[in-house]
């Protein structure tokens, strides 16, 4: 196939905001002016960029069709001699399509409707959209372009359809959430479509956090020979073109995971208008990493640490928490919870008479701390960042209305061993987390000499088991066959099943794995499936 000039294409890696249609129009119009000034002839904007993704049941609002139609025309009026491809919901009567419009010189020139509607994981598109069936091919300066939207690229059909209609370049707009494997998968999918069709492909993706998903950008262009000629940087917004923008070095592993969590946290706090974030500092690894993420996302002046020692808190835990807060420039106060513990003991003395102390008393400590953090957040219009990780959330090693209190959970989809990896990575950037926090055995410190491994298998074994069971849907029998001890498997699977009610009430947190709790993994609260 004849080579085409991809230098005329610009990719708008934009942080579109769900529901902020006027703001999204402004962001897209500014990107169009920037691209046009740089000499671009085509600007690609993300999937559903006009409304934001995922819009969920905002699509059911009766006033939305008129707002979208009016705003699309307003955006078209802002577009001069550049072809802007923008995603939007197209309403026709009672039907809604996930569509892309080509705007040029004040007019909607062409419209394409997404053909492959994903209905798995975080996607729920069959609830809202009808699938399109037809290609859209248009010409600019003698080159023929085909349109596709996100999932369309992941099967050969739509690209082949565009090629059969004479397209030379496939323009693909996306709102593709980040996970730790997605970036390599995207590149391989694009490479396959190029190899199958001989089309050059320009791929644009959204960037930024939106509730429980985070978009990483990773926008890119591939020529018809199968060479990637542009890759935009991860988690960075901007307008990118081949001329003047190299194939940026791609961060890998824990580095890109850290970037994802920082971006998700920043956007959640900023877009919801919180001036401050409060974090309960225990001196443990989870609160240490959460504090580092918060400071890197928001700046030290917008983060407050709160140490809430009990009689069971080790002195080194308090010292380590304060040392990190000082190293990161975070204001930290200490509120001892023993007076509240004594008050609760007195209040419950008659009701608990004749019983021995157990998890009820332990959980009271966590709930006292949760109440204090929420009081501070209420007083100062702030958000509480919960510090629990995916391993603990999976097996219920967390206290409802206690350490689960809060508005956002940055580590919700991060396994415990990954938390340690994040701590080591952050200390490579600058040493802020005390080494003792990373090396000491983890403990909830709710009773004397308590350690996590008294209640759970060692975290390296637990994480491996949970990944197999949750992300790869291994059965109990398959877990036995993989070499996990039968007693551990039976106990962990039972805990996962029994803890569903806690996860339903957990704060949102960013999806960074291939199967996150919440949108992606929805199990019944009341069910007997332990042997599955």
Cα torsion 481, 413, 407, 397: sign: positive
Does residue 214 contact residue 227 with C-beta atoms inside 8 Å? Answer: no
* Contact between residue 251 and residue 234 where contact means Cβ atoms under 8 Å apart: yes
Q: What is the pLDDT of residues 333-364, one digit of tens each?
A: 999 999 999 999 999 999 999 999 998 998 99
Beta strands 83-92 and 95-104, pairing class: antiparallel
Inter-residue contact 433 to 288 (CB < 8 Å) = yes
Residue 1: what pLDDT?
46
> CA angle, 302 as apex, 298 and 303 as ends, to 5°?
90
Which residues are documented as binding site for ATP?
A: 280-287, 387
Residues of each annotated binding site: 120, 176, 182, 280-287, 363, 387, 392, 502
Q: Which two tokens stand for residue 170?
A: 């496939």
Confidence of residue 242 (pLDDT cuts 50, 70, 90): confident
Sign (positive/negative) of CA torsion 412, 415, 420, 424? Answer: negative
Please report, rounded to a whole number, the percentage of residues in the chain having pLDDT higher than 70.
Answer: 97
Task: Examine the pLDDT at 383 and tell me if it is beyond 60.
Answer: yes
Contacts of 473 (CB under 8 A, 6+ apart): none
What pLDDT digit, counting tens, does each position of 293-330 carry?
999 999 999 999 999 998 888 888 888 999 999 999 99
Given a cut of 80, whether residue 125 has pLDDT beyond it is: yes
Look at residue 92 and tell me whether its pLDDT is greater than 80.
Answer: yes
pLDDT at 435 over 50: yes
Please state, rounded to an integer, the average pLDDT across all residues of the chain. 93
Tokens at residue 358, please?
A: 């157990």
Mean of the pLDDT values across residues 69-81? 94
How far is residue 292's CA from residue 430's CA, in Å, rounded to a whole number? 11
Cα separation, 507 vs 371, in Å, equals 15
Q: What are the φ and ψ backbone dihedral angles of 224, each rounded to 5 degrees?
A: -70, -10
pLDDT number for residue 165: 96
Instruction: Using the Cα atoms of residue 310, residue 313, residue 319 and residue 322 in order, give the sign of their dihedral.
Output: negative
Q: Summarize the chain as % helix, strand, coil (round to 5).
A: 40, 20, 40
Query: Could you give all domains of the chain from N- to C-terminal order, each with its CATH number?
Result: 8-250 (3.60.110.10), 258-452 (3.40.50.620)
Task: List pLDDT tens digits, range 136-160.
Answer: 999 999 999 999 999 999 999 999 9
Looking at 3-7, 75-79, 175-179, 393-397, which range is the least confident one?
A: 3-7
The radius of gyration computed from the CA coordinates of the chain, to the nearest angstrom, equals 25
DSSP 495-509: HHHHTHHHHHTSPP-
- Strand, coil or helix: what is 330? coil
The pairing of beta strand 213-216 with beta strand 220-222: unpaired
Confidence label for 248 from pLDDT (cuts 50, 70 and 90): low
Q: What is the pLDDT of residue 249?
A: 62
pLDDT > 70? residue 445: no
Owner of token pair 């970036």: 183
Q: Is residue 196 within 8 Å of residue 154, measured between CB atoms?
A: no
Cite the active site residues. Answer: 47, 114, 150
Which H or E run includes 146?
Answer: strand 143-149
Residue ranges of alpha helices (H) inside 272-396 are 285-298, 315-327, 338-348, 359-379, 390-395
| Binding-site residue set for L-glutamine | 120, 176, 182
Q: What pLDDT, on a 0 to 100 scale, did the predictor assign at position 504?
A: 94
């Amino acid at each position: 196939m004849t080579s085409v000039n991809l230098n005329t294409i610009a990719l708008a890696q934009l942080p579109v905001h769900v529901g902020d249609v006027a703001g999204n129009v402004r962001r897209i119009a500014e990107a169009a002016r920037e691209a046009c000034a740089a000499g671009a002839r085509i600007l690609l904007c993300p999937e559903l960029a006009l409304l934001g993704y995922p819009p969920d049941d905002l699509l059911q609002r009766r006033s939305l069709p008129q707002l979208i139609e009016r705003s699309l025309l307003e955006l078209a009026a802002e577009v001069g001699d550049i072809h802007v491809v923008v995603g939007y919901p197209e309403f026709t009567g009672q039907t809604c399509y996930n569509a892309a419009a080509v705007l040029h010189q004040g007019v909607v020139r062409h419209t394409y409707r997404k053909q492959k509607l994903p209905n798995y994981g975080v996607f729920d598109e069959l609830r809202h959209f009808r699938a399109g069936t037809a290609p859209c091919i248009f010409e600019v300066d003698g080159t023929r372009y085909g349109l596709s939207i996100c999932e369309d690229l992941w099967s050969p059909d739509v690209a082949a359809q565009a090629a059969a209609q004479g397209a030379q370049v496939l323009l693909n707009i996306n709102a593709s959430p980040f996970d730790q494997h997605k970036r390599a998968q995207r590149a391989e999918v694009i490479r396959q479509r190029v190899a199958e069709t001989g089309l050059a492909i320009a791929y644009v993706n959204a960037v930024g956090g939106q509730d429980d998903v985070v978009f990483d950008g990773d926008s890119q262009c591939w020529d018809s020979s199968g060479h990637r000629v542009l890759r935009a940087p991860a988690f960075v917004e901007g307008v990118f073109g081949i001329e003047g923008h190299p194939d940026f070095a791609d961060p890998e592993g824990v580095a890109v995971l850290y970037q994802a969590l920082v971006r998700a946290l920043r956007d959640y706090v900023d877009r919801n208008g919180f001036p401050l974030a409060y974090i309960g500092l225990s001196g443990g690894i989870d609160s240490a990493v959460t504090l580092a993420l918060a400071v890197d996302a928001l700046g030290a002046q917008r983060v407050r640490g709160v140490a809430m020692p009990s009689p069971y808190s080790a002195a080194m835990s308090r010292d380590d928490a304060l040392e990190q807060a000082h190293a990161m420039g975070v204001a930290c106060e200490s509120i001892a919870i023993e007076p509240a513990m004594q008050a609760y003991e007195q209040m419950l003395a008659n009701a608990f008479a004749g019983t021995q102390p157990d998890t009820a008393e332990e959980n009271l400590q966590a709930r006292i701390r949760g109440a204090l953090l929420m009081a501070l957040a209420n007083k100062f219009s702030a958000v509480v960042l919960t510090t629990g990780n995916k391993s603990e959330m999976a097996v219920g090693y967390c206290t409802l209305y206690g350490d689960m209190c809060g508005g956002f959970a940055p580590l919700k989809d991060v396994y415990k061993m990954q938390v340690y990896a994040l701590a080591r990575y952050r200390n490579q950037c600058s040493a802020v987390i005390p080494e003792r926090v990373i090396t000491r055995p983890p403990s909830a410190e709710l009773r004397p000499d308590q350690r996590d491994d008294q209640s759970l298998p060692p975290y390296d074994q637990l994480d491996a088991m949970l990944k197999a069971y949750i992300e790869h849907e291994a059965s109990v029998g398959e877990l036995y066959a993989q070499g996990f001890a039968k007693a551990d498997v039976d106990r962990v699977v039972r805990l996962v099943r029994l803890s569903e009610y806690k996860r339903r009430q957990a704060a949102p947190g960013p999806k960074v794995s291939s199967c996150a709790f919440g949108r992606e993994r929805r199990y019944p609260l009341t069910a007997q499936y332990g042997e599955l």
